[in-house]
């Protein structure tokens, strides 16, 4: 199914919803995008799809005037991150994630210099809670405290945005200021299954807490009518942002 190639209007409220293409193949992703139609303008490609032909599909989406968020969570030695980001920037994606370690963020910002790519720093994964951090060796700091520390480091390095749970968005906004983007996964419309997410909120709460973009995957991907599910979330976002 071919999609319209008319540019999405600047400031379109639909851009606030980033639909996670958490599927196993490009064929599934293409079919899903077709079913969603003009209800979706912004798509996230993570590990599952990226390593199954997702980079070429990202180019396809961009060619259809969709926006793409490459959720690759890069983290490596500085030179590797810098050169990797430089390569990703050539794809034309809008967002790219890196882990919020200072050396990694610094390298990513160098790699995207001179391009329109925006770097998002992942603070603490939304599947983690305080117990998970203890297990990982962060016994003296809570998830919220670690998010705040990494947000401050990202701000100081000039990173374009932060990925954090919406439950931390209000505090992060107070740290990073009004111009830094806040992107929140772990969004679940009321009445839907939380799955493996532990720090979740509804779309209305996410916008109220200061998020610029909400990432939603399973509630749309697994819906009987993905377009209707996406449209319902966009309506909720519009009402919350009014």
Closest CA to 95 of 34, 43, 135, 53: 43
- Catalytic pick among 16, 44, 66, 73: 73
Whose structure tokens read 């992107």? 183
Cβ neighbourhood burial of 137 (10 Å; 0-12, 13-18, 19+):
exposed
Residue 214: in which H helix or E strand, if any? strand 213-216
**Catalytic site includes residue 73:** yes
- Other beta carbons within 10 angstroms of residue 221's beta carbon come to 18
What's phi and psi for 119, nearest 5 deg?
-95, 130
Burial 1-10 (b: 16+ CB within 10 A, else e): eebeeeeeee
Closest CA to 238 of 204, 210, 201, 199: 204
CA distance linking residue 207 with residue 240, whole number of Å: 6
| Contact between residue 219 and residue 20 where contact means Cβ atoms under 8 Å apart | no
CA distance linking residue 43 with residue 15, whole number of Å: 9
Give the active site residues.
73
């Amino acid at each position: 199914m071919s999609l319209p190639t008319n540019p999405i209007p600047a400031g379109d409220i639909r851009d606030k919803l980033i639909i996670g293409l958490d599927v196993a193949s490009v064929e599934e992703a293409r079919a899903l995008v077709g079913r969603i139609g003009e209800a979706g303008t912004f798509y996230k490609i993570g590990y599952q799809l990226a390593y199954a032909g997702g980079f070429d599909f990202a180019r396809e989406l961009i060619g259809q005037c969709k926006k793409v968020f490459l959720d690759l969570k890069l983290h490596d030695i500085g030179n590797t991150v810098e050169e990797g980001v430089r390569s990703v920037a050539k794809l034309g994606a809008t967002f790219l994630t890196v882990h919020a370690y200072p050396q990694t963020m610094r390298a990513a910002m160098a790699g995207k210099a001179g391009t329109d790519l925006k770097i998002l720093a992942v603070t603490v994964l939304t599947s983690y809670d305080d117990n998970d951090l203890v297990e990982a060796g962060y016994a003296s700091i809570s998830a919220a405290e670690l998010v705040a520390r990494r947000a401050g480091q990202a701000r100081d390095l000039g990173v374009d945005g932060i990925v954090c749970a919406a439950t931390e968005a209000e505090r992060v906004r107070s740290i990073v200021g009004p111009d830094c983007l806040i992107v929140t996964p772990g969004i679940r419309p009321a009445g839907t299954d939380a799955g493996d997410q532990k720090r979740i909120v509804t779309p209305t709460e996410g916008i109220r807490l200061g998020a610029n973009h909400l990432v939603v995957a399973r509630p749309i991907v697994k819906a009987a009518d993905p377009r209707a599910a996406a449209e319902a979330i966009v309506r909720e976002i519009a009402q919350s942002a009014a």
